[in-house]
Amino acid sequence: MLRNQEVLYGILFKSVSETLAQLAETRKHLGADIGFISILHTWGQNLMDHPHIHNIVTGGGLSRDGRKWKACKNDFFLPVKVMSKLFRGKFLAYLRKLRAENKLVYPGAVSHLAQPAAWGALISDLYKKKWVVYCKPPFDGSKGVLEYLGRYTHRIAISNHRIVKTEADKVSFRWRYYADNNKSKIMTVYADEFIRRFLLHVLPDRFVKIRHYGLLGNRCRRKKLDQCRVLLSCTGQNKAEQKTETWQETLFRIAGIDVAKCPACGERTMRTTEIMRPARCKGPPRI
């Protein structure tokens, strides 16, 4: 993954999205067009590489003819074991395709995988393993999910409050050890190792780590969501009555970040005094 980030993270997204869409469209499972948001997350609590994708999925979808909302069953959304096997099959099929098209590189510690025998053994082992898909209902309702993700999606690998101290050539940071009842512990590593772990999570240039699919896809989102609201009888206020939130108000409501507050003293309120455009920009673009 680390030596082929762009192509392998790409097929990770593709495998996940196709798995969810295909199973949801199957009549015996749901038979509907669902919507979901996929978010790439590459680190674990100890800052080591741990690439995986979080998905927020609608609790149902539009029927094939678009005339009915089909809600998922109360006890589960989609069969997890079936999801795991389908996801594994899709990812490994795309991985083998990349190999056949010579789109993978094998430098350093993975140089042995350039040999057909080693590559074949790896693929065989991956097919034999039981892949894990973790699925659970939303916590604290839809509002709780959105508030949580508003703080979570745009984080970097580690925030300042987790760094306990830096002294000499070592860095100590707080982490949770899930294997030991989720206990909070302190890990101390050399500074160069800390930087190495941090840089593992710098994504390729222009790589999109948050993607929208199905009902939430950019091409059809407005039309299909309006259709869903009508079917669910939750059209809400008329658009003329809705208050338009500024981006500053939205950021404060979701993430609790007040961009107007002075970052130095934390008390005084900042205000815009002047907008300085680039020298080559003499005004707004003409359309």
Q: What is the DSSP string of the chain?
A: -TTSHHHHHHHHHHHHHHHHHHHHHSTTTT-EE-EEEEEEEEE-TTS-EEEEEEEEE-SEEEETTSS-EEEPPSS-SS-HHHHHHHHHHHHHHHHHHHHHTT-----GGGGGGGSHHHHHHHHHHHHHS-------PPTTHHHHHHHHHHHHTT--SS-GGGEEEEETTEEEEEEEEGGGTTEEEEEEEEHHHHHHHHHTTPPPTT---EEEEETT-TTTHHHHHHHHHHHTT---S-TTTSPPPPHHHHHHHHH---TTB-TTTSSSBP--------TT--SSPP-
Confidence of residue 190 (pLDDT cuts 50, 70, 90): very high
CB proximity list for 263: less than 8 A, separation 6 or greater: none
**What is the percent of the chain where pLDDT is above 90?**
46
CA distance to 186, 189, 193, per residue, from 46 (Å): 10, 10, 12
Average pLDDT for 53-77 = 85
pLDDT digit string, tens, across residues 128-172: 999 989 888 776 777 777 776 766 677 788 888 889 999 989 999
CA distance to 48, 91, 119, 214, 277, per residue, from 1 (Å): 13, 13, 14, 27, 41
Confidence of residue 45 (pLDDT cuts 50, 70, 90): confident
Average pLDDT for 8-37 = 93
Torsion of CA 213, 37, 257, 186, to 10 degrees: -150
Q: Bigger pLDDT: 55 or 266? A: 55
Average pLDDT for 50-66 = 89
